[in-house]
Structure 1
Amino acid sequence: MYLNGKPSESIEQLRNRVGQLVRVLLEDFEIEGTPVSLEGVDDLYELFDRDQLFLVQDGMIHLSKNGQNLLSFDEGDLIGIHQSFDMPTPVLRTDEYVELIPISRDHFLRHVYSDKRRQHYWSHLLVCLNAMMLNYLADLYKDQVRPTAGFQNMQPGDVIIQQGDPAEHVYTIISGEADVFVDGMKVGDIGEEEVFGAMAVFTGEPRSATVIARTPCTIMAVPQKDFVLLIEAQPKAAVNLIENLARRISILNQQLIDKGETPQG
């Protein structure tokens, strides 16, 4: 069995375990089917009833969805488990020569359930197949779906953002509070669940303020390139950001009014 791309260590371990379990389950099993040779098959189960499993004897056959091969089976692999239980699943196809040995699903299951040890191995096989696909899906989409956020712990007085530094991250305070300073003068504060540091990311300018932890803080730092992904994956973060920016603009306007200057709009 082969999955597209370079498999992670966990997937490789699961793949090896699946092969071992199939071999154990087929021990002492009397295969009655006659090998069939196929070539250029778009959907294996258009040719066979769904109460059939198959043992790959030679060649390679692919699990395919929308024209894309997701994984490939070769000699020794047992295929058709999901299809034989009439579950929605990608098709099994091949453009090449493949030799398969048909196995009656009911015959095989009687063999499995006639022995408690084999029942255990069968359950283990199903769990391993599920875990392998979940790991594969997670590896496939981890860089596209999940922002690479990092968590940091800050002590009172620690500088989270330094005025004048380049903007590389957007931050959220998970717990704790921080103070905001501009040119050494306190101009605001930041509380839990507030998003900050986004303005410079949007404008591309250096940091316009310094943020210092007032209490012990846990913050989430999201790299600039992943910030858009965070907004897409967590709409609440976008709402919090807009609310925070509106609140800060209101505070700045009040400060300008107090100084007799023109408010920002």
Structure 2
Amino acid sequence: MYQNGTEPATGFEANSPRLQQLAREMLLGFAYTQNTVTFESVDDLYEHFDEDTLFLVKDGIINICSNENTLFSCEEGDLIGISQSFHLPSPTLMTDGYVELQPINRDDFLLHIYNDKRRQHCWSHYLVTLNSLLTERLGALSKEQLKPAAGFLNFSAGDTIIQQGDDADMVYTIISGNADVIVDGVSVGELGEDEVFGAMAVFTGEKRSASIIASTACTVMAVPQQDFTVLIKAQPQAAVNLIENLARRINMMNQQVLEQH
């Protein structure tokens, strides 16, 4: 069993081979009553088998999938279908390539386990290890889902970050540098480090009401509209900054109105 992704979760590489070793010890001396089966591909293994069946992967790869995401991939030596065999909510077992499986009747397997204390010990360790790996994988997936798809943009002094009248699809935060707020060619304010801008048009669906021009070299974080709420959840300080910025700008505009009168 191995985890899909570029960065394996902590301890996964050490515990995954342990599952295979425990499976070998549990199945030592087990009398298989069914012939091996092969598939070139299968969308859902349990559309072809009763749920009281477990499987030992003899060759190929079986993917454990949930909501179109592959959680794990199981290979030769892995025991699969435990949750299905106990009629629990379960992910889908599928493959788009060749696989050879050894079916195992659940009742025969449990009888084999509970007839020997050593196998009982292995079974307990197997379930604890499997639970640990699944918990770790769930935590990793939760972090990935909460990570906003933010990008960092660099601007030189005089570059336009936002153009007045454009459609609004991004929210921005100045990481470093400063920028001017321009409305109809007139400077109406300044933006500095950690200030969030561009959010109002995103929320209202209106066109950009002002242009933002870099007054110095700037690094800006841009977050797509659909991910902005995720950013707020992951970094609550961004919401605080946004509220403070809006309050500051309202006060600034009030002062400008008073001065003009």
Whether TM-score is above 0.5 comes out as yes
Rounded to whole Å, the distance in 2 between the matches of 1:206 and 1:120 is 69
| 2:232 equivalent among 234, 237, 249 | 234
Answer whether contact 1:37 1:97 (CA < 8 A) is retained: no
Query: After the TM superposition, which residues 92-241 of structure 1 pair with which residues of structure 2 at under 5 Å, given as runs?
Result: 92-115=93-116, 118-139=119-140, 142-143=143-144, 145-146=146-147, 167-168=174-175, 196-199=194-197, 203=212, 205-206=214-215, 224-225=221-222, 229=227, 231-234=229-232, 240-241=240-241
In structure 2, what is the equivalent of residue 245 of structure 1? Answer: 245
- TM-score w.r.t. the length of structure 2 is 0.59
Aligned position for 2:170:
none
CA contact under 8 A between 2:9 and 2:137: conserved in structure 1? no
Give, as a single letter, the amino acid of the residue that structure 1 aligns with 2:38: L
Greater shift in the superposed pair: 32-41 or 115-124:
115-124
Q: Which residues of 2 match residues 42-121 of structure 1 at below 5 A? A: 42-65=43-66, 69-115=70-116, 118-121=119-122
Q: Contact 1:200/1:206 (CA < 8 Å) preserved in 2?
A: no
Partner in structure 2 of residue 17 of structure 1: 18
CA distance in 1, matches of 2:100, 2:244: 64
Cα distance in 1 for residues equivalent to 2:110 and 2:139: 31
Aligned amino acid, residue 230 of structure 2: E
Once the two structures are TM-superposed, the CA of residue 143 in structure 1 deviates from its matched residue by 5.0
| 8 Å contact from structure 1 (residues 167, 205) kept in 2 | no
Question: In 1, are the aligned partners of 2:9 and 2:140 still within 8 Å (CA)?
Answer: no
Please say if residues 71 and 137 of structure 2, whose CA atoms lie closer than 8 Å, have aligned partners that are also in contact.
no
Q: Compute the displacement of 1:80 (Å).
A: 0.8
Q: Given residue 99 of structure 1, which amino acid in structure 2 is its aligned partner?
A: E
Structure-1-length-normalised TM-score: 0.58
Find the counterpart in structure 1 of residue 259 from structure 2: 261
User: CA–CA distance in 2 between the matches of 1:262 and 1:133?
Assistant: 64
The CA deviation at 1:238 is 6.6
CA shift digits 1:118-177 (9 cap, x unpaired): 44433332333233234345545645522599xxxxxxxxxxxxxxxx9326xxxxxxxx
- Matches of 1:238 and 1:125, distance apart in 2: 43
1:54 CA drift (Å): 1.3
Q: Which residue of 2 aligns with 1:38?
A: 38
Instruction: Could you tell me which runs of 5 or more consecutive residues in structure 1 were left unpaired when the two chains were aligned.
Output: 150-165, 170-194, 208-222
Structure-2 change in CA distance of 1:147 and 1:239 (3 Å): closer
Q: Distance in 1 between matches of 2:7 and 2:174?
A: 35
Identical columns (%)? 39
How far apart are residue 67 of structure 1 and its match? 6.4
Give the structure 1 partner of residue 204 of structure 2: none
Residue pair 1:63, 1:93 contacting (<8 A) in 2 also:
yes
The match for 1:173 is none
Partner of 2:259, secondary structure, is coil
Which amino acid in the other structure matches residue 214 of structure 2? E
Q: Distance in 2 between matches of 1:146 and 1:4?
A: 18
Q: What CA distance in whole angstroms lies between the structure 2 residues aligned with 1:245 and 1:72? A: 47
User: For 2:73 and 2:146, how far apart are their aligned partners in 1?
Assistant: 25
